[in-house]
Amino acid sequence: MSFPLLTATALTPAVGAVVTAAVPAARRTAAKWLALLFSLATVVLAAAVLLRFDTGEGADRFQLTESRSWIADFGVRYELGVDGIGVAMIALTALLIPFLIGAGWNDADPKGDEAPATRRWRPTQGFFALILMVEAMVILSFAATDIFLFYIFFEAMLIPMYFLIGGFGDRAGEQDSEEGQARQRSYAAVKFLLYNLVGGLVMLAAVIGLYVATADQLPEGTFSLQAILDARAAGELDFGTGTERWLFLGFFVAFAIKAPLWPLHTWLPNAMGESTAPVAVLITAVVDKVGTFAMLRFCLGLFPEASDWATPVVITLALVSIIYGALLALGQRDMKRLIAYASISHFGFIVLGIFAMTSQGQGGATLYMINHGVATAALLLVAGFLIARRGSRLISDYGGVQKTAPVLAGTFLIGGLATLSLPGLGPFVSEFLVLVGTFSRYKAAGIVACAGIVLAALYVLILYQRTMTGPLKPGLEKLPDLKVRELAVVAPLIALLIFLGVYPKPLTDIVNPAVEHTLSDVQKTDPEPETPAVEAAP
């Protein structure tokens, strides 16, 4: 292509972030509309990427490619390209951001006497600018086919996320004082940053090791994913068993922290609990997906033998995440922390599907990344609207909400049912494919994973029962129902969940060819049925 469509898609929110941040302090409303317009422009460009992507037989694996020399002395190039999984994740990211901006429309506005005298203080402008900057970096992470370029944006997105968690956190926590709430937000932001920085440093060592390993066998070292895949396919590159396993571990640890996978998950409940609802969605529905996406693209693509070697351990960790996250969700008093632990359980399903090494498992895992993003956004944003009305995240402070806010309760129920993978909603298709793909190769793991379905039904339905049904709690008599802006945010997400639950074919058509390429990288095929089909007699 002559027009750099992927660069334009990522550059649009980056420019929007700069423009939004530069809006004068008194023009908060203008800053909000500018951020929304730039996010909608990104949706249009992401749709163009989706339409230009060729899903036909024989199409190139990486399409819409761009390649320019960047740091020539070290073999670093500005290389972008997308396969079906990358296209789907870019579309998800671009689609969610306008809804997050709409949901957080008033979250960063100064309240009461909080605004200092200086006119240079721009909390609203900063809030939306940081969201747009995260969007730009995530899109570049999904599109980067140069490994060093990917690493830069994989790490750089931590900076705006740190300020979104620590500087614009939720103020409905258990701490009564503003000072106590600020300490909790600061703790959550620092914990998020430290965990992910440690993982990034481990990955940096592996990235350097990868360059050295390619320099030993190729005419020059390279960070190009396509060049490494081509060299390995031609028999020109062989890392060796020991080197490949160490490199795999360096990449996998960073991605497991980002995902997050047990036991590297503990930063997520703090970060989501102390964030505003839109930022919490940004964490779990967008940023964390970079970790699972990278497992598919880099761990399996670059290190097939090591991926096969690590599969039993990774599947065990995924199963622990599924059960552990669900059990802890059952015991939560805090509504947002409950959803955070539920997400840990769901990420366990995604990782399980990836390392089941079957087309159904990996296809289901990719669909799960998308459907989980939409379902969590719907549930968490409605929960955020409810928390903003009451000023409390504690489940015990609610009850009988459906009597005064039936639309809020109804949308909360649909979001919850999607979270527990009710048939007819998008996540059901994903979870079913993951379980089918796992059963076909690892029956015991599939049986254990099924327990997560039962536990999900428990924590979702108990949450709904305690908050929305029963006698009306004092103080909720005049709780307002969803407003027009809030309905405009939630209704499209619910419609998308129903559409993907009833007709997922457009998404599977995009994803399946990329899954086939990934399975080819690790030299795996789907297991033969134990009971082969028998042709019917005449």
Band of the pLDDT at 13, cuts 50, 70, 90?
very high
Average pLDDT of the residues in 3-32: 89
Q: Which helix (H) or strand (E) is 92 found in, with range?
A: helix 84-103
Tell me what pLDDT residue 246 has. 92
As a whole number, mean pLDDT of residues 427-452 equals: 91
Range of lowest pLDDT (23-32, 131-140, 327-336, 420-429): 23-32
Concatenated DSSP letters for 133-199?
HHHHHHHHHHHB-BHHHHHHHHHHTHHHHHHHHHHSB-S-SS--SHHHHHHHHHHHHHHHHHHHHHH
Q: How confident is the model at residue 175 (pLDDT cuts 50, 70, 90)?
A: low
387-401 pLDDT tens trace: 888 888 888 888 888
Residue 534: is its pLDDT beyond 70?
A: no
DSSP structure class, residue 75: T
Q: Kindly report, residue by residue over 73-103, the tens digit of the pLDDT.
A: 787 889 999 988 999 999 999 999 999 999 8
Is pLDDT above 80 for 382?
A: yes
What the block records as the tokens of 511 is 């994803």
Contact partners, residue 76, CB within 8 Å, separation at least 6: 70, 146, 148, 149, 223
Q: Give the tens place of pLDDT for each residue, 281-312.
A: 999 989 989 999 999 989 998 898 999 899 99
Per-residue pLDDT, averaged over 124-135, amounts to: 91
Return the pLDDT at 351.
93
Position of tokens 């968690």?
165
In the predicted structure, residue 468 carries a pLDDT above the cut 80: yes
Q: Is the dihedral of CA 415, 421, 427, 429 positive or negative?
A: negative
Residue 113 pLDDT exceeds 50: no
| Lowest-confidence segment of 168-182, 238-252, 340-354 by average pLDDT | 168-182
Q: Pick 53 or 2 by higher pLDDT.
A: 53
Provide the pLDDT confidence category of residue 214 given band limits of 50, 70 and 90.
confident
pTM, 2 dp: 0.89
Closest CA to 370 of 61, 96, 57: 96
The answer, yes or no, to whether residue 119 has pLDDT greater than 50, is no
Lowest model confidence (mean pLDDT) among 229-243, 315-329, 455-469, 490-504: 229-243
Distance CA 141, CA 296 (A): 13
If you average pLDDT over every residue of the chain, what do you get?
87
Comparing C-alpha atoms, which of 517, 525, 523, 520 is closest to residue 60? Answer: 517
* Residue 33: both structure tokens together: 């509309």
Which of the residue ranges 85-94, 227-236, 381-390 would you say has the lowest mean pLDDT? 227-236
Report the alpha-carbon angle 365-369-374, nearest 5: 140
The predicted structure's pLDDT at residue 117 = 42
What's the pLDDT at 525?
75
pLDDT for 118: 45
How does residue 235 score in pLDDT terms, banded at 50, 70 and 90?
confident
Partners of residue 146 on adjacent β-strands: 224
pLDDT band at 354 (very low <50, low <70, confident <90, very high): very high
